């Protein structure tokens, strides 16, 4: 269908099947901040969202991609690291030639090949983060800083490689914050929305960038961040996008401040009814119930999105926990956008690769219980032995994924009434399992379970 540049028209857009089916995307935070690649251990954003303490968070920000803002705290750990490493007179913009030099030998196919091997169905790249530096040689260069873009077209080269490896390509753009236009230090959550750039020059600049990204790269996802200027005509932009990318989707972070209730400027808010989006994007958080609206949680493998050389294995999510989180998200109608933070030269650190490979190895056996599934009537269950279970379904099959390895060779899944003519298989094994109904439960015999974080049971005929 053809969309008109009105809110009513774009709101009629339906989420395409590919995005429902995809389940796993790879987020890439890569830019000037990948040169210093340092942040303090400020903790997990999800914890801060629950407990508050935002002023302390911004001073000790775990996000290495926020390096420029964190650097502005004269008594903070990032400033101390910067002065010791580069000198007090070294300006953030001086990382630009260093980054351009670092990416000279980057091979986009190596990156795309890894993501395909993991099992990802789409990739989202940061084309411009809050510092304003673009990863493509845009026709609309930053009017406040000279040569503030990559000499190589990193966006285009990775887009081509990702598509050659059978994945969709999405593009992130910081449409609200641009520290080349507004250098105000962000100290608390009120400042985040309060520093969205509203200048007419920036409105034209950002819309020109979005149109250029759409025209040149045809992204499958428009992934905006931290709101959008109030005077921008978003229905016009969205209609232009949908009419040019017929299977595209748009995230929920284009919120314009004018549409928010008074005093509500933080990221945790009820989305305004005037806003259009295809999916919602909790960050380092998940939902406890099945969501009717499609959603996608995003998070780093560690506490940071950008590469943080200060993070060791103890700051990274444990492999078992990563698999369990992913299964839980999918059971509740979500996708996982799992972030990698490459080094400046495009190398993905070994400990991040190891997490990706663990997930990929698990999906190679259990992917049938994940990809192209939909939520069942309920997401969660448990065995009588206390092992958690997550449910997904296709038209003819129900999948029950055990969140761990049972200690017993026989398990009972509570409250699961399986028809008598059903067959049950453990994914990865060819022979059907022996089972029996016990009241409203099902008892299943399990033998020779492999060593893996979770085990998926395929129940046919339910």
Question: Residues near 172 by Cβ (< 8 Å), separated by ≥ 6?
Answer: 27, 124, 125, 126, 127, 129, 223, 224, 225
- Same structural domain, 440 and 341: no
pLDDT digit string, tens, across residues 146-183? 999 999 999 999 999 999 999 999 999 999 999 999 99
Inside any domain, residue 375: no
Cα–Cα–Cα angle for 180, 181, 187, rounded to 5 degrees? 85
The structure tokens listed for 214 are 């759409």
- Same structural domain, 130 and 158: yes
- Same structural domain, 314 and 432: no
Q: Which of 213, 197, 74, 77 is nearest to 144 (CA)?
A: 197
Inside any domain, residue 333: yes
Identify the pLDDT of residue 263: 57
pLDDT tens for each residue of the chain, 462 residues long? 899 999 999 999 999 999 999 999 999 999 999 999 999 998 788 787 777 788 889 999 999 999 999 999 999 999 999 999 999 999 999 999 999 999 999 999 999 999 999 999 999 999 999 999 999 999 999 999 999 999 999 999 999 999 999 999 999 999 999 999 999 999 998 899 899 999 999 999 999 999 999 999 999 999 999 999 999 999 999 999 999 999 999 999 999 987 766 555 554 445 677 899 999 999 999 999 999 999 999 999 999 999 999 999 999 999 999 999 999 999 999 999 999 999 999 999 999 999 999 999 999 999 999 999 999 999 999 999 999 999 999 999 999 999 999 999 999 999 999 999 999 999 999 999 999 999 999 999 998 899 999 999 999 988
Domain range enclosing 413: 380-460
Domains in the chain, number: 2
3-state secondary structure of 441: strand
Identify the pLDDT of residue 270: 57
Distance CA 110, CA 150 (A): 19
Last residue of a domain, one of 312, 345, 369: 369
pLDDT digit string, tens, across residues 211-255? 999 999 999 999 999 999 999 999 999 999 999 999 999 999 999
Give me the phi and psi of 310, to 5 degrees please.
-85, -5
Inside any domain, residue 441: yes
Question: Residues near 318 by Cβ (< 8 Å), separated by ≥ 6?
Answer: none
Question: Residues near 91 by Cβ (< 8 Å), separated by ≥ 6?
Answer: none
The structure tokens listed for 48 are 């801060």
Under DSSP, the state recorded for 283 is: B
- Same structural domain, 197 and 272: yes
- Same structural domain, 354 and 442: no
CB atoms within 10 A of CB 256: 19
Inside any domain, residue 14: yes
Last residue of a domain, one of 322, 347, 369: 369
- Same structural domain, 128 and 277: yes
Cα–Cα–Cα angle for 110, 116, 118, rounded to 5 degrees? 105
Inside any domain, residue 336: yes
Domain containing residue 418: CATH number: 2.60.40.1180
Look-up of token digits 């990929």: 360
CB 454, CB 361: distance < 8 Å: no
Distance CA 323, CA 452 (A): 10
Q: What is the pTM of this model?
A: 0.96
- Same structural domain, 281 and 390: no
- Same structural domain, 143 and 86: yes
Distance CA 300, CA 280 (A): 17
Inside any domain, residue 2: no
3-state secondary structure of 366: helix
Inside any domain, residue 374: no
CB 390, CB 370: distance < 8 Å: no
Inside any domain, residue 354: yes
Last residue of a domain, one of 369, 392, 411: 369
DSSP conformation letters of 178-217: -TTT--PPP-SHHHHHHT----HHHHHHHHHHHHHHHHHH
- Same structural domain, 419 and 334: no
Question: Residues near 319 by Cβ (< 8 Å), separated by ≥ 6?
Answer: 354, 355, 358, 359, 453
The structure tokens listed for 417 are 């009434």
Distance CA 130, CA 255 (A): 16
Domain containing residue 174: CATH number: 3.20.20.80
- Same structural domain, 361 and 388: no
- Same structural domain, 352 and 440: no
- Same structural domain, 401 and 258: no
């Amino acid at each position: 269908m053809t969309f008109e540049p009105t809110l009513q028209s774009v709101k009629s857009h339906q989420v395409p099947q590919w995005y429902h089916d995809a389940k796993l995307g790879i987020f890439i935070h890569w830019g000037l901040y990948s040169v210093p690649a340092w942040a303090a251990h400020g903790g997990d954003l999800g914890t801060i969202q629950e407990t508050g303490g935002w002023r302390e968070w911004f001073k000790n920000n775990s996000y290495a991609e926020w390096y420029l803002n964190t650097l502005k705290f004269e008594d903070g750990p990032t400033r101390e690291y910067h002065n010791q490493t580069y000198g007090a007179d070294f300006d953030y913009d001086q990382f630009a030639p260093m980054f351009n030099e670092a990416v000279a030998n980057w091979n986009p196919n190596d990156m795309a090949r890894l993501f395909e091997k993991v099992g990802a169905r789409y990739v989202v790249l940061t084309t411009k983060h809050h510092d304003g530096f673009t990863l493509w040689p845009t026709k609309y260069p930053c009017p406040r800083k000279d040569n503030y873009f990559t000499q190589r077209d990193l966006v285009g080269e990775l887009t081509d490689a990702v598509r050659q490896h059978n994945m969709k390509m999405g593009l992130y753009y910081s449409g609200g914050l641009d520290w080349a236009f507004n250098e105000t230090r962000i100290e608390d959550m009120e400042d985040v929305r309060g520093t969205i750039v509203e200048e007419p020059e920036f409105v034209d600049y950002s819309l020109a960038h979005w149109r250029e990204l759409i025209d040149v790269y045809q992204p499958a996802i428009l992934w905006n961040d931290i709101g959008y200027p109030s005077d921008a005509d978003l229905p016009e932009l969205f209609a232009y996008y949908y009419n040019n990318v017929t299977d595209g989707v748009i995230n929920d972070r284009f919120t314009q401040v004018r549409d928010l209730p008074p005093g509500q400027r933080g990221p945790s808010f009820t989305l305004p009814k005037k806003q259009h989006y295809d999916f919602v994007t909790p960050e380092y958080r998940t939902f406890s119930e099945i969501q009717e609206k499609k959603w996608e949680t995003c998070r780093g493998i560690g506490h940071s999105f950008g590469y943080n050389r200060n993070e060791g294995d103890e700051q990274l999510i444990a492999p078992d926990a990563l698999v369990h989180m992913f299964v839980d998200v999918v059971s509740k109608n979500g996708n996982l956008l799992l972030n990698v933070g490459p080094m400046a030269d495009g190398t993905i650190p070994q400990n991040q690769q190891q997490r990706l490979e663990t997930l990929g190895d698990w999906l190679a056996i259990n992917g049938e219980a994940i990809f192209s599934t939909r939520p069942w009537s309920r997401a969660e269950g448990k065995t009588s032995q206390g092992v958690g279970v997550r449910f997904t379904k296709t038209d003819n099959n129900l999948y029950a994924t055990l969140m761990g390895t049972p200690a017993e060779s026989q398990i009972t899944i509570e409250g699961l009434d399986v028809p008598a003519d059903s067959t049950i298989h453990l994914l990865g094994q060819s022979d059907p399992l022996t089972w029996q109904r016990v009241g409203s439960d099902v008892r299943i015999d399990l033998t020779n379970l492999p060593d893996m974080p979770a085990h998926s049971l395929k129940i046919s005929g339910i």
